[in-house]
Amino acid sequence: MNRKKIKHITKYRLFWPIVCLILVLLFNLIKTPTFFKVSINSNGVLYGYIIDIINRSSELIILAVGMTLCVASSAGTDISVGATMAVAGAVCCSILGSGEAYNAPYFVGILGALLVAVLCGAWNGFLVAKLKIQPMVATLILFTAGRGIAQLITGGNILYIKVDNFKYLGSTLPHVPVPTPIFVAIGVVILTYLLLKKTALNMYIQSVGINSKASRLLGLNSTLIIFLTYMFCGLCAGIAGVIATSRIYSIDANNVGLNLELDAILAVALGGNSLGGGKFSLAGSVIGAITIQALSTSLYAMGVSADQLPVYKAVVVILIVTLQSPEFKKFVNHQKQKRVEKIGEKVA
């Protein structure tokens, strides 16, 4: 009975991703006993490692949500999201201008940035869905060209936005104790979830991802669905780009979202989603994104130098991915069975 229960829990989709996250956090607790301490500082803002992790992982969560849908529908990844972030940030800053007041209303800047990001996504979607180019290759175009485009928009300079309320999106609103990016991330996740659950999109995407030809024969417009997921991924990258830009109230086209596309793909994989498309879990990706950021933040807390970070990250990722791989699970099950058989032999 008990064993059955355990088996039931371990079969649960999100079991392994959650275990991984808990392991990372537990390790932190041992290493840094104050890790879970959250206090309110003199600015009236929540303060602590945990807040840092959730705050800093907001962009990654948003990217991972978009990436999950891309992966699910097309069995391929969009590697241009980091560059799209830079383009969105560049558009936002160049519309708003670096004067003492905005050149255009704030929402026009944000809207412009998101629009361009959606365009970037649509371009990727067109290449992948319509021209049937391999996603990795199709998005490689914007991956290489995106930062160049962003540099063109900014004229190769770092543009600063001097108006104070531009910072709100990336830090905190006055009298609100929780950093704004957290709200945005939660909003994106909930809206996406509702969009998927309240419409049939969830099923459409999964069915296209599992077999796009069969889905088309069933009457689903596979091309359109793949196109839409890439457009949505562009939109997510745009939102993440605007947040990242607001954090440093300037656009640094070379560094905004640098290597974040890889973290986003990793988040999807860590969340237990198959990169082969089909079934997916948004919650898994979100947990994956938080795990990655928890890892970075805890390594900072332990004083690991930022340039050595990727090495430690890689080691942990290898461990986590191995734990989740079907072959490894098979191996473990096989060993268990052997042991059971041995015991059986002994008893006999």
Partner 1 sequence: MKRKVFALLMSVLLIGAMVVGCGSKNSTDSKDTSGDASSDASQSGDLITIGFSQVGAESDWRVANTESMKSALSEENGFKLIFADAQQKQENQTKAVRDFISQEVDIIVIAPVTETGWETVLGEAKDAGIPVIIVDRMIDVSDDTLYSCWVGSDFKQEGVDAANWLVEYMDKQGTGDAEHNIVVLQGTIGSSAEIGRTQGFDETIAAHANYKILEEQTGEFTQAKGQEVMEAFLKKYDNIDVVIAQNDNMAFGAIDALKAAGKTPGKDVTIVSFDAVKAAFESMIAGDMNVSVECNPLHGPRVSELAKKLMAGESVEKIQYVDEGVYPAETAEKELPNRQY
| Residues contributing to the site for partner 1 (CB under 8 A) | 32, 34, 41-43, 45, 47-49, 52, 56, 133-134, 137, 140-141, 144, 147, 151, 156-158, 160, 171-172, 244, 247-248, 250, 252-256, 297, 300-301, 303, 305-307
Span between the terminal Cα atoms of the chain, in Å: 24
Write out the two tokens for 58. Answer: 């907001």
Our CB check for partner 1 shows the closer of 108 and 262 to be 262
Our CB check for partner 1 shows the closer of 105 and 156 to be 156
CB of 206 to partner 1, least distance (A): 22
The one-character DSSP state at 156 is: T
CB of 13 to partner 1, least distance (A): 30
CB of 215 to partner 1, least distance (A): 17
CB of 45 to partner 1, least distance (A): 7
Our CB check for partner 1 shows the closer of 301 and 323 to be 301
Our CB check for partner 1 shows the closer of 153 and 196 to be 153
Our CB check for partner 1 shows the closer of 202 and 255 to be 255
Burial of 185 (0-12, 13-18, 19+ CB in 10 A): buried
How big is the CA angle at 298 (ends 292 and 304), to the nearest 5 degrees? 110
Residue 3 CA to residue 9 CA, distance in Å, equals 10
Burial of 113 (0-12, 13-18, 19+ CB in 10 A): buried
**Secondary structure (3-state) at 139:** helix
CB of 31 to partner 1, least distance (A): 11
Q: Which phi and psi angles does 227 have, rounded to 5°?
A: -55, -45
**Secondary structure (3-state) at 30:** helix
List beta partners, residue 39. 47
Q: Which phi and psi angles does 243 have, rounded to 5°?
A: -65, -50
CB of 6 to partner 1, least distance (A): 37
Our CB check for partner 1 shows the closer of 118 and 128 to be 128
CB of 46 to partner 1, least distance (A): 11
Our CB check for partner 1 shows the closer of 118 and 129 to be 129
Our CB check for partner 1 shows the closer of 69 and 253 to be 253
**Following DSSP, what letter does each residue of 269-300 receive, concatenated?**
HHTT--TTSS---HHHHHHHHHHHHHHHHHHH
Our CB check for partner 1 shows the closer of 170 and 271 to be 170
CB of 248 to partner 1, least distance (A): 4
Q: Which phi and psi angles does 174 have, rounded to 5°?
A: -60, 140
CB of 90 to partner 1, least distance (A): 12
Q: Could you give the angle at which helices 2-11 and 15-31 cross, rounded to 10 degrees?
A: 90
**Secondary structure (3-state) at 265:** helix
Dihedral angle over CA of 234, 240, 242, 247, nearest 10: -160
